[in-house]
């Protein structure tokens, strides 16, 4: 089981959570942990700068464009795809203050 953290996690049916981590097993089991006070040191915890999203989001990368509101696009994808994660991806290089896609943003597979 991997424990993966990021600036934000936004998964289907979970809402936007800041400074949390997800325990993810390759069988598809996952558990989201929101420590409430930020992430403490946890042995083996991987940290990525960006937003952790469901793995299938990468297939819809063409829906993102410079200035697009990330949560609106993700909500549309999640509505059509359901709750299954199909792995995890990270959105890197986006504007995390305003939660907008930038020209340098990309989606990378984590697991």
pLDDT digits (tens, 9 = 90+) for 39-93: 667 788 899 999 999 999 999 999 999 999 999 999 999 999 977 888 999 999 9
Which domains occur in the chain, in start order?
Answer: 2-109 (2.30.40)
What is residue 35's three-state secondary structure? coil
| Whole-Å CA distances, 62 to 4, 65, 99, 106 | 26, 7, 17, 11
């Amino acid at each position: 089981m991997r424990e993966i953290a990021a600036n934000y996690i936004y998964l289907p049916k979970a809402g936007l959570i800041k400074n949390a981590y997800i325990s993810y097993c390759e069988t598809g089991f996952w558990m989201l942990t929101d420590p409430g006070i930020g992430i403490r040191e946890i042995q083996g915890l991987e940290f990525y700068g960006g937003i952790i999203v469901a793995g299938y989001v990468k297939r819809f990368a063409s829906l993102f464009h410079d200035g697009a509101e990330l949560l609106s696009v993700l909500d549309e994808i999640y509505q059509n795809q359901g709750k299954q994660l199909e792995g995890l991806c990270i959105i890197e290089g986006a504007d995390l203050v305003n939660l907008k896609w930038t020209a340098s943003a990309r989606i990378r597979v984590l697991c």
